[in-house]
Amino acid sequence: MEKESAKLLLREYITTNSLINHSHMVAIAMQAYAQKQEKDEKSIHDWWLCGLLHDIDWEAYPDQHPNYAVEYIFPKVEVTDEIKHAILAHAPEQTGIIAESEMDCYLFACDELSGFIHAVSLLRPTGYEGMKVKSVTKKLKTPNFAANISRDDVYKGVELIGTNLADHILFLIDVFQKAKEKNLIR
């Protein structure tokens, strides 16, 4: 599935800009990790697509997310089984599918933390620019801040991709800073 048609598909199901932005953030994070691992062009695209579509049914079918997407939306478009599995595995409580593949693990690891870093960026006049790892980890320890973001999932994600929290945050800040400069995200 081409990038432009994927973006149009996303717009068919999501009207809120914040969720569109979140989808793009996770797509860009996934793409950056695929590039970091020197994957081939096709895989880099698939990682991006996986991130872009992971919450496509969240707004319209929150109670069936992400099962609805896999059952009713993806069969209509070209989405690989690998991507479907990763999207199911980002919500194990809803699907019973746990993260196994690399793509599964990275999607899980990028999802909540991207949302969290975005929340931190909103507090800063310069957004992602100049954001320090420490200000993110400090906020993670503040339960009232972005309380809807599961800290357990953030820590579990870091474990799944076999890195440490600081490196993962640093990588994502850098990715989002560059994406923001190019106006790809807010």
**Residue placing its CB nearer to Fe ion in the complex, 46 or 111:** 111
104 binds Fe ion (CB under 5 A): no
With CB under 5 A as the contact rule, which of the stretches 28-36, 49-57, 100-108, 123-131 interacts with Fe ion? 49-57
Four-point Cα dihedral 121, 87, 60, 16, nearest 10 = 20
Beta carbon of residue 131, minimum distance to Fe ion (angstroms, whole number): 20
111 binds Fe ion (CB under 5 A): yes
**Residue placing its CB nearer to Fe ion in the complex, 104 or 111:** 111
55 binds Fe ion (CB under 5 A): yes
Count of residues near Fe ion by CB under 5 A? 2
**Residue placing its CB nearer to Fe ion in the complex, 42 or 91:** 91
Helices and strands in the chain, H and E counts: 10, 0
153 binds Fe ion (CB under 5 A): no
**Residues near 145 by Cβ (< 8 Å), separated by ≥ 6?**
119, 139
Q: How far apart are CA 88 and CA 130, in angstroms?
A: 34
With CB under 5 A as the contact rule, which of the stretches 30-38, 42-50, 52-60, 158-166 interacts with Fe ion? 52-60
Q: How far apart are CA 155 and CA 109, in angstroms?
A: 8
Q: How far apart are CA 54 and CA 135, in angstroms?
A: 27
Positions that interact with Fe ion (CB under 5 A): 55, 111
